[in-house]
Amino acid sequence: MRRWLKEPLLHFLLLGLAIFGAYRLLGPDEPPPSSIVVTEGIINGQIESFSRTWLRPPTPQEVNELIREYVREEVYYREGMALALDRDDTVIRRRLKQKLEFVAEAAGIAAEPTDEDLRAYLEQRRDAYQTDARLSFVHVFLSAERHGDALEQDAARVLGTLQSSNEAMDPAALGDPTLLERQFEDVPLRDVAAQFGDEFADRVAEVPVGRWQGPIESSYGMHLVLVGARKDRRAPELAEVRDALRRDWLNERRIAANEAYYQSLLQRYTVTIEGRGGKVLDGPAGGTVQ
Amino acid sequence: MKHVPISTRVIVFAVAAMAAAASTAAVAADSQVGVAGALDKQSAEKAFPAQKLYSPYAGRNFPTRPYFGDTHLHTSFSMDAGAFGARLTPRDAYVFAKGNEVKSSSGQPVKLSRPLDFLVVADHSDGMGFFPLIIGGSPEILADPQGRKWHEMVLGGEGAAAAIDIIQSFGKGTISKAIMPVPGTRAYQSAWDETIKAAEEANDPGRFTAFIGYEWTSNTGGNNLHRNVIFRDGATKAGVTVPYTTMQPLGSDNPADLWKWMAGFEEKTGGNVLAIAHNGNLSNGRMFPTVEAVGKPVDRAYAENRAKWERLYEVTQTKGDGEAHPYLSPNDEFANFETWDKGNLDGSAAKTKDMLEFEYARSALKNGLMLEQKLAVNPYKFGLVGSSDAHTGLAAMEEDNFFGKTAPQEPSPERMTAKFFDNPQTGVKIMDWEVSASGYAAVWATDNTREALFDAMERRETYATTGTRVIVRFFGGWEFEPQDAGNRLPAAIGYGKGVPMGGDLSAAPSGKSPTFLVAALKDPLGANLDRIQIVKGWLDAKGAVQEKVYDVVWGDADKRAPGADGKLPPVGSTVDVANATWTNTIGDPELITVWIDPSFDPKQRAFYYARVLEIPTPRWTAYDAKRFGIQPLPGTTLTLQERAYTSPIWYTPGR
């Protein structure tokens, strides 16, 4: 019993405890608080956001509230960052990635294309910018439901009437009621396809102009058509598609800038894949690992 | 059907005018004569008031075709979509909607069967400032050596190097004060500006409409009260403001505050906005309150504002269908369609039966009548649209071409068996297979422009589809007669004698019941029609809400008729589930009829809307099972009847 009272280690521990206790009582109790400085610039930024949302400046009371809320957010933000809560947060990681992509894209789009750029771009993609084929036509509809087995026969008969008729006749009176529009004027062929189906559109694009033709089948029934005018697809002039070309050209630049940016960033890293035997699956990342 | 002799000049006009394509006026004259010929003289005069118009187009200004689109599509700009792995931007979304092929976020090529007519990219795109366009070359930038250097690097094709240099300078704090941006100021380009720019570029009046819009995402407690806000205007007006957010003090999670913001925008800019409430099926009883809304009583002011700002309601989308619920409509054998009734948006609270009444469109329309009786204003007088709410940038809602709700739900063998979300505490679990390939908004507009489409939405001349492009006409009036269904120009007679979907009837003429002209034409690429139904809701003499579903016209009418119980037998099915195929050998491609309400009481408020059902077809799950060779989980729904819901026509008694 006495023996361990004489143990130097005990003396050492007691002494340490005493010094530590004295320091706690006499020394500074907390680390100094970090400072949050709300600058004029930050306040103006808050006011700007408010004004843009509400299309009026905030009242002094509202400014106070904006500042209070800014401080609250800043405190949480700093504490969250101190705890590294951002590190494994998918939303934050992807958001940051997206922000950097915007930077690269913004850098990539600054220069406007010249006419030569656009002409060269168009030259490489003539097909993609062809004008729509357009046509004007009227049609007489024969419902598959109403005519049943006689549909084809009736269609042939109506076609005969239409082709041989003089003026004294309303073509629509020969057909059945339908919600389809009856008459189309200078419509793009793709609109025809959207309303009648692709097969109908393909056929009506080819029938001779100026005389009743058909029958052409759609998924509704048979149609006899009179095509009045037709404009074929053709290669466009630069002026006709300038806006689309500019948009697509810039978009291409944007994507290229983003990729170039990523590649240049990647140069700064060595990437080691430890899992999967060091192999990377096929895809863009596959070629860039060093 | 009446056959009326026709002007002898019709065909002369047609041929001559079309051969000489320049003569557009003559072609239009033909359509005028054609219309007059098809009607009898009297009703023609009613349809087209007797003034002599120089412009032949002026007499025929009703919409001739519906435009199909999506009012609710997210891209990678939405925080949650980005987190799910969406890579497509608003630009890509518009390119895709226009019918072009793009590469999806999962790297798969994808293209629509045919283009959409319009699209609203509705991202939660607030709060995403990023670096300024230093490279733009404004005078201040060029006056600064650092700014000038970067500007020249970019012009010299070294954009990527400039970007790196800029970022490093930011990091080291060596960026010049003169060009340093301050958060919240204009120097920061925002995602909102990019969103607007993408819409402006894609907007192509007459061919494709790209609306500027966003989603206001009130989600307090996981109870979904989202609204999609759509601008009628372009960048000059929409660009002066930023999306309203849900966080205090700038924003709020209360729809009443959103309406204040909308009113402020209109007042300050002279622009126009509307809001479409998100499908309420995940709101846990909060979408259509009757007593209290976010802590305030449902009073006249609430009713007026809601009716003013929320003219449309999103009744069907990927997170399920919200037209009717089998618990609320036990006599409606089609009410249980793509039902999601387990809980709220994040599965944090389970659903109880008493919530359902305040979540589904039909019961809200009914309660609206009750509230109108009490408050003199009907807060729930909304038209119907469907939309996708996809978070992929892809409005791909066709069953055989469904690209899912989120990027991980793009086509893959996993989506037949994976869980969408699962909350063991509340027991709310949703499987990926339950996600619905739905829907689209159909708008009867006079032209494919922002203005015409927006105005049609404001007058509620819209209908919802679950992804099909069926064409539906619905008119109400006092004078429709059975022979009107045989008329060659149903639209002319519909507008001539009645009001279209979304309209009002009031003060019934003595002894008259409301009559309805309703017609549907199948999707040209889609399935035949099973039937058209009219859903009636009304407030009875005791002030209680009632509903009834009428079968009014159906396919294969030569083979089937309502039985003793008044129910029409099912149309049958041609679906071969294993091969994911079907045939149009049952049903009809087109249905039309005139229907008279058989139990009308002129003293009782009522609404009527049409529901059109297609014949059964394979659901997207059947296509996936076939294409990926996957055995579906037990209980997986593999067939469906696609459908359309029109905006209602309301009847209000006279004073």
Residue-level pLDDT at B297: 92
- How confident is residue A277, by pLDDT bands cut at 50, 70 and 90? confident
Confidence of residue A24 (pLDDT cuts 50, 70, 90): low
pLDDT for residue A70:
92
Residue found by looking up tokens 């959409």 in the block? B116
**Secondary structure element (H or E) that encloses residue A183, with its range:** strand A183-188
Mean residue pLDDT across chain A: 83
What's the confidence (pLDDT) of residue A157?
Answer: 92
A28 falls within a domain: no
Q: Which tokens go with B75?
A: 């891209």
Looking at the domain assignment, is residue A58 inside a domain? yes
Spell out which residues of chain B touch residue A193, defining contact as CB-CB under 8 Å. Answer: 114
User: What's residue A289's pLDDT?
Assistant: 38
Of B6, B99, B184, the CB nearest to A170: B6
Q: Are A95 and B251 within 8 A, CB to CB?
A: no
* CB spacing of B240 vs A283 below 8 angstroms: no
Read off the pLDDT of residues B453-486 as tens digits, 9 standing for 90 and up.
Answer: 999 999 999 999 999 999 999 999 999 999 999 8
The three-class DSSP label of residue B532 is strand
Mutate to test the interface with B, among A37, A39, A51, A52 (most CBs of B within 10 A): A52
Residues near A74 by Cβ (< 8 Å), separated by ≥ 6? A36
> Nearest Cβ partner of A103 from B161, B167, B519?
B167
Same domain assignment for residues A251 and A120 = yes
pLDDT at B30: 34
In a domain, residue A265? The reply is yes
The pLDDT-based confidence of A33 (bands split at 50, 70, 90) is: confident
Residue from the list A103, A168, A190 with its beta carbon closest to the beta carbon of B163: A103
Among B2, B18, B229, most A C-beta atoms within 10 A, so best to mutate, is B18
Pull the structure tokens for residue B142.
Answer: 């060029």
Residue ranges making up the domain that contains A248: 115-124+236-279
For position A177, what pLDDT does the model report? 85
Residue numbers in chain B where pLDDT is lower than 70: 1-60, 125-138, 140, 154-155, 157, 159-160, 163-164, 167-168, 170-173, 177-190, 221-222, 655
Distance CA B241, CA B330 (A): 47
Report which of residues B405 and A181 the model is more confident about.
B405
Using CB atoms, pick whichever of B64, B136, B157 lies closest to residue A181: B64
Half-sphere exposure of residue A161, counting CA atoms within 13 Å on the CB side? 17
Which phi-psi region, left, alpha or beta, contains residue B502 (left: φ > 0; alpha: ψ -120 to 50)? left
Instruction: Judge: B14–A138 Cβ closer than 8 Å, yes or no.
Output: yes
Residue B589 gets which letter from DSSP? Answer: S
Count of A–B CB contacts within 8 Å? 237
Q: Encode B382-429 in three state secondary structure.
A: CEEEECCCECCCCCCEECCEECCCCHHHCCCHHHHCCEEEEECCCCEE
ipTM greater than cut 0.85:
no
Same domain, A153 and A218: yes
What pLDDT shows up at residue B361? 98
Residues of chain B positioned with their CB less than 8 A from the CB of A195:
65, 524
- What is the rounded distance in angstroms from the CA atom of residue B639 to the CA atom of residue B572? 12
Interface test with A, best of B1, B4, B9, B11 (most A CBs within 10 A): B11
Q: Is A213 found in the same domain as A144?
A: yes
Q: What confidence score (pLDDT) does residue A89 get?
A: 85
Q: Chain B interface, mutation test: which of A91, A167, A211, most B Cβ atoms within 10 Å?
A: A167
* Residues A178, B101: Cα–Cα separation, whole Å: 33
What is residue B270's predicted lDDT score, i.e. its pLDDT?
95
Domains contained in chain A, number: 3
Give the DSSP per-residue string, B161-175: HHHHHHHHHHHHT-S
- DSSP state for residue A60 in the 8-state scheme: H
Question: Of A55, A190, A210, which has the smallest distance from its Cβ to B268's Cβ?
Answer: A55
**Is pLDDT above 70 for A64?**
yes
Q: Domain ranges in chain B? A: 1-61, 66-126+189-440, 133-179, 490-652
What pTM value is reported for the model? 0.84
Q: Vertex B67, ends B455 and B334: CA angle to 5°?
A: 105
Verify whether the Cβ–Cβ distance B241 to A55 is below 8 Å.
yes
For residues B187 and B182, what is the distance between their CA atoms, to the nearest angstrom? 7
- CB-based contact A106 B115, cutoff 8 Å: no
Distances (CA, A) of A78 to A34, A42, A82, A97, B648: 10, 16, 6, 20, 53
CB contact under 8 A, A107 and B160: yes
- Residue A25 in domain: no
Distance CA A194, CA B549 (A): 32
E-only strand ranges, B589-647: 590-596, 606-614, 617-618, 639-640, 643-646
Q: Measuring CA to CA, how many Å separate B580 from each of A193, B574, B614?
A: 24, 10, 16
Q: Does residue A9 belong to any structural domain of this protein?
A: no
How far is residue B259's CA from residue B164's CA, in Å, rounded to a whole number? Answer: 43
Residue A7 lies in a domain: no
Instruction: Provide the shortest C-alpha distance from residue A140 to chain B (in Å).
Output: 11
Q: Residue A109 — very low, low, confident or very high, per pLDDT cuts 50/70/90?
A: low
Contact B30 A183 (CB under 8 A): yes
Which chain A residue lies closest to B34 (C-alpha atoms)? A170
Report, as an integer, the average pLDDT of A195-224.
92
